[in-house]
């Protein structure tokens, strides 16, 4: 018999330890409920800063504190490691497995916050040569590929092949793509300056590709144009209206808006072009009749529940409500808190809060050191002031006092100086993964 059955308290199961799941659990800290948080990873990931792990500014521990540590003082929470393979909404149970052990957890209320992963738009084979940036493993692999590419270029005697190693392509002109492209320029032109004897890292070619006619399109035309101009100043080639036709070991094949093909030779490609919700969304849709869109997101009611199942909430990147979801951290935080509050109100026989309303606190993205863009209500900011606001907000949302202190320290090293603390683990692949072999020295 499970511990919650012995206590006879309402049992809330939360799937996922991201923003939606973690903030839902914290919202229930004073509630008369037992909580089981099930997650396939043992940490809470501050995903907006993954690109800084990939480019050597931060270590993985600074943006991914252990979930058990974050919730250690919240006595009504049990953390359970496991990949959720089944949800039985009729029987009110969740099946998960880890280390060869299968666990079935019964629930009275369920909050599904399993998030999203990288979408390759029907081409999963791209993942081998163009990693996305959705988890710590992705960031660590990209860091190895990025710094490993410079090491391989230093060894390569053939100028043409050396140029391939020093060519970096970022696919996707959203916030992640812009931030990655900007940081790759900083790495090449500042961080690695004077580190090599054969190559000049500043000669690196960095290309940002997007199928639309704007980068950061959701920020509006003015900020988009300023962002593109700043990237070009940093030496980034910005290819707009360019559709990726193929990605392989030789680089990226592109079709422009006139139908003309082009090829960018590169050994290091970063995929930042799309997201796909957890497969659990499709599973829930099949059981409840809820609509599921092409990105795998579940259409929820105004109160974030599923048709005929007021005890099941879907939050964060997994849901669409009223046909929308900006796919940002604030949606996950606010929807997670809303679902938790609705559960408490129902248990206390209080009136529900009413429909979920997302309060847009704005969007931000960094471009480079001292340059960022911010869209907050009707306010549009660009440059140093936007960058300072970005710093403050991201420090505020980092979980844990220790994480904030060490993050500020590493930011000072990277932004005020020209070094990066996290550059270990190179020569692991740089697009060739386990088959990579450095060229012979001549």
Shared domain for 242 and 339, answered yes or no, is no
Q: Is the pLDDT of residue 440 over 80?
A: no
CATH number at residue 29: 3.50.50.60
Q: Is the pLDDT of residue 418 over 80?
A: no
Angle among Cα 33, 35, 36 to the nearest 5 degrees reads 160
Q: What is the pLDDT of residue 396?
A: 84
Shared domain for 138 and 152, answered yes or no, is yes
Whether the model clears a pTM of 0.95, i.e. scores above it, the answer is: no
Instruction: With beta carbons less than 8 A apart as the criterion, state whether 423 and 56 touch.
Output: yes
The structure tokens listed for 208 are: 């940002």
C-alpha span between 143 and 204 (Å, rounded)? 16
Shared domain for 426 and 302, answered yes or no, is no
Which are the catalytic amino acids?
A: 179
The beta strands (E) that lie in 30-171 are given as 33-39, 77-81, 83-88, 93-98, 101-106, 109-112, 116-118, 167-171
Is residue 48 included in any domain, yes or no?
Answer: no
Shared domain for 262 and 377, answered yes or no, is yes
Instruction: With beta carbons less than 8 A apart as the criterion, state whether 374 and 390 touch.
Output: yes
Give rounded-to-5 percent helix, strand, coil for the chain.
35, 25, 35
Give bridge partners of residue 243 from the DSSP assignment.
255
* Closest of 113, 128, 97 to residue 434, by C-alpha: 128
Is residue 61 included in any domain, yes or no?
Answer: no
pLDDT in tens, 226-279: 999 999 999 999 999 999 999 999 999 999 888 899 999 999 999 999 899 999
**Which residues fall within 8 angstroms of residue 290, CB to CB, at 6 or more apart?**
284, 298, 299, 300, 306, 307
Shared domain for 16 and 148, answered yes or no, is no
Q: Is the pLDDT of residue 427 over 70?
A: no
Question: What's the maximum distance between 2 C-alpha atoms anywhere in the chain?
Answer: 78
Shared domain for 155 and 262, answered yes or no, is yes
Is residue 29 included in any domain, yes or no?
Answer: yes
pLDDT in tens, 36-89: 999 999 999 999 999 999 999 999 989 999 999 999 999 999 999 999 999 999
Q: Is the pLDDT of residue 357 over 50?
A: yes
**Which residues fall within 8 angstroms of residue 184, CB to CB, at 6 or more apart?**
55, 146, 168, 170, 204, 206, 236
Shared domain for 197 and 128, answered yes or no, is yes
Domains of the chain: total: 2
Rg (CA), the chain: 23
Confidence of residue 424 (pLDDT cuts 50, 70, 90): low
C-alpha span between 159 and 320 (Å, rounded)? 50
Give me the domain span that covers residue 158: 124-273+369-435
Is residue 412 included in any domain, yes or no?
Answer: yes
- Per DSSP bridges, beta strands 167-171 and 309-314 are unpaired
Give bridge partners of residue 37 from the DSSP assignment.
14, 79
C-alpha span between 206 and 269 (Å, rounded)? 10
Shared domain for 170 and 264, answered yes or no, is yes
Shared domain for 20 and 35, answered yes or no, is yes
CATH number at residue 143: 3.50.50.100
Confidence of residue 439 (pLDDT cuts 50, 70, 90): very low
C-alpha span between 168 and 189 (Å, rounded)? 13
């Amino acid at each position: 018999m499970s511990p919650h059955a012995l206590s006879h308290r309402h049992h809330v199961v939360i799937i996922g330890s991201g923003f939606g799941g973690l903030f839902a659990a914290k919202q229930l800290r004073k509630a008369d409920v037992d909580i089981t948080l099930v997650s396939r990873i043992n940490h809470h990931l501050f995903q907006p800063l993954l690109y800084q792990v990939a480019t050597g500014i931060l270590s993985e521990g600074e943006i991914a504190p252990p979930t058990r540590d974050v919730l250690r003082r919240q006595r009504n929470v049990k953390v359970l490691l496991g990949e959720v393979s089944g949800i039985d909404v009729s029987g009110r149970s969740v099946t998960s497995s880890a280390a060869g052990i299968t666990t079935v957890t019964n629930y009275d209320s369920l909050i599904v916050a399993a998030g999203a992963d990288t979408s390759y738009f029907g081409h999963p084979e791209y993942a081998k040569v163009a990693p996305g940036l959705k988890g710590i493993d992705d960031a660590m692999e990209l860091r190895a590929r990025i710094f490993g590419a410079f090491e391989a270029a230093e060894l390569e005697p053939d100028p043409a092949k050396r140029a391939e190693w020093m060519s970096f392509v970022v696919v996707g002109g959203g916030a992640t793509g812009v931030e990655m492209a900007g940081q790759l320029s900083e790495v090449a032109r500042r961080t690695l300056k004077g580190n090599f004897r054969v190559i000049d890292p500043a000669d690196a070619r960095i290309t940002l590709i997007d199928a639309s006619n704007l980068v950061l399109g959701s920020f509006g035309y003015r900020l988009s144009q300023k962002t593109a101009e700043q990237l070009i100043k940093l030496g980034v080639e910005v290819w707009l209206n360019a559709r990726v036709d193929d990605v392989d070991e030789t680089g990226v094949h592109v079709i422009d808006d006139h139908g003309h093909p082009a090829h960018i030779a590169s050994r290091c490609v970063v995929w930042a072009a799309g997201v796909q919700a957890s497969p659990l969304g499709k599973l829930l849709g099949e059981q409840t009749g809820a609509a599921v869109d092409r990105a795998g997101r579940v259409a929820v009611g105004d109160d974030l529940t599923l048709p005929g199942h007021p005890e099941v909430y879907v939050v964060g990147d997994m849901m669409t409500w009223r046909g929308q979801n900006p796919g940002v951290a604030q949606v996950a935080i606010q929807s997670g808190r809303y679902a938790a509050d609705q559960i408490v109100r129902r248990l206390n026989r209080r009136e529900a809060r009413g429909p979920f309303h997302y309060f847009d606190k704005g969007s931000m993205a960094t471009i480079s050191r001292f340059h960022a863009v911010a869209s907050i209500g009707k306010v549009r900011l660009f440059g140093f002031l936007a960058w300072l606001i970005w710093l403050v907000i991201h420090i505020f949302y980092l979980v844990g006092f220790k994480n904030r202190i060490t993050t500020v320290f590493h930011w000072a090293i990277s932004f005020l100086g020209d070094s990066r603390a996290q550059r270990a683990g190179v020569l692991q692949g740089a697009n060739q993964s386990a088959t990579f072999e450095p060229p012979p020295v001549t």
